[in-house]
Amino acid sequence: MSYKLNTAHHENFFKAFSRVPDNSFDLCVTSPPYYNARKYGSEWDGFQSPTDWFHFCDDMLACVAQVMKPEGIIWWNTASGYESGKRLTVVEQLIVSAERRGLYLIDKIPWCKTSFLPKNYQNRPYPAREENLIFSKAPVLAVYYRDQVRRPYAESTLKRLEYPVGNLQADEKGEFTKRKMVKPHPDGKTVPNYLVGRVDVSKRDHPAPMATWVAEFAINAYSKKGDFVLDPMCGIGTTLVKAIELDRFALGFDANEEYVDKANEAIWAITMMTTPVPMSPLSEPM
Ligand SMILES: C[S@@+](CC[C@H](N)C(=O)[O-])C[C@H]1O[C@@H](n2cnc3c(N)ncnc32)[C@H](O)[C@@H]1O
């Protein structure tokens, strides 16, 4: 069995992962089904309980970890889920369970949504946030490509940097540090560990596609050109398309055939203009 790269495959990842060689991917960018929030049109629609959802996520994460390179990164986009007025702790349980297995949390990068239609809840504000959990089997080997995700400085910052800057804290000897000139980086400022941005309002053929700009950020922050990117639950292929556009190799799976067809249509639309995919360990017969 071999899997063609830059393609979405109609397969349940719980079956597919054992046919993918271990240590294959530099980056996985994925968003598993939410807890009973959406209908995905597959056998994975309904979780009986939060525990059921936890086991699904926990098993999936373990399968993904097996096919990641030691230095690889898993970007796991999820939302916490609520039931009976309570916030579920599945995300926290997942982090603890992953760590016990040797998959470590590098950080959480929440996405705060700037556009949403708030509903009222009796005991809490509207949950306008999703979590991005960043995991690695060997965090000290993992690389964050900060220069690929720099953002323009605000006008006010650039103005401020025309003068010497420094803080007003004394050092260990009780001396105040001298203010000095700081040059702005030519490619912009580094970003904090949270994302702020719009919900994807484009009418795409999926009940919960990942926001394209979030996938783009994840790929730029944690991979370089020529790297191998996986999405084991790729839906209509947001991660795959972005990865290919950014000159990475991409492989995706989804349990729903309709989504896989849409993903491949989107991939063909962008790859018609590019060169054929070279052979790689992943596309050779196993
Ligand atoms: C939140 S959606 C992902 C959407 C995707 N990121 C996109 O932008 O289109 C979750 C997807 O997981 C798929 N899925 C659920 N269980 C799966 C499994 N065991 N193997 C592969 N895909 C699965 C569902 O069919 C659904 O499309």
Cα gap 258→238, rounded to integer Å: 14
Q: Which amino acid is at 72?
A: G
Distance 254 CA to ligand 1 centre (A): 5
52 CB-near residues (< 8 Å, 6+ apart): none
Cβ contact 209:241 at 8 Å: no
Give the atom of ligand 1 at the shortest distance from the alpha carbon of 14. Answer: 19
**In the chain, where the domains are located:** 7-150+190-271, 152-189
Distance 76 CA to ligand 1 centre (A): 12
Residues of the chain with pLDDT > 70, as a percent, come to 90
Statement: residue 274 has pLDDT above 70: no
Task: Count other C-beta atoms under 10 Å from residue 201's C-beta.
Answer: 8
Q: Which CATH number fits domain 7-150+190-271: 3.40.47.10, 3.40.50.150, 1.10.10.10, 3.90.600.10?
A: 3.40.50.150
Q: Are strands 129-136 and 7-10 parallel, antiparallel or unpaired?
A: unpaired
Structure tokens that stand for 31 in this block: 């968003």
State the average pLDDT over residues 32-41: 72
pLDDT for res 284? 45
Distance 208 CA to ligand 1 centre (A): 9
**CA angle, 73 then 76 then 80, to 5°:** 150
Cα gap 148→49, rounded to integer Å: 40
The pTM (predicted TM-score) of the whole model is 0.90
Residue closest by Cα to atom 7 of ligand 1: 209
Provide residues with CB under 6 Å of ligand 1: 12-14, 31-33, 40, 42, 44, 206, 208-210, 232-236, 238, 253-256, 259
Give the atom of ligand 1 at the shortest distance from the alpha carbon of 12. Answer: 20
Distance 189 CA to ligand 1 centre (A): 34
**Structure confidence at residue 222 as a pLDDT band (50, 70, 90):** very high
pLDDT digits (tens, 9 = 90+) for 161-216: 999 887 667 778 877 767 788 899 999 999 999 999 988 777 777 888 899 999 99
pLDDT for res 285? 37
Testing ligand 1's pocket by substitution, the residue of 18, 30, 42 carrying the most ligand atoms inside 8 A of its CB is: 42
Statement: residue 249 has pLDDT above 90: yes
Residue closest by Cα to atom 5 of ligand 1: 235
CA 214 to chain centre: 7
pLDDT digits (tens, 9 = 90+) for 125-151: 988 999 999 999 999 999 999 999 999
Q: What's the length of the chain? A: 286
**Phi–psi pair at 59, nearest 5 degrees:** -65, -40
Statement: residue 48 has pLDDT above 90: no
Cα gap 99→106, rounded to integer Å: 11
Distance 82 CA to ligand 1 centre (A): 20
What's the mean per-residue pLDDT of the chain? Answer: 90
State the average pLDDT over residues 49-71: 96
Statement: residue 12 has pLDDT above 50: yes
Cα gap 32→34, rounded to integer Å: 6
Q: Which amino acid is at 271?
A: T
How far, in Å, are 10, 244, 264, 267 from residue 272 at the CA level? 21, 12, 12, 9
Residues of the chain with pLDDT > 90, as a percent, come to 72
Distance 45 CA to ligand 1 centre (A): 10
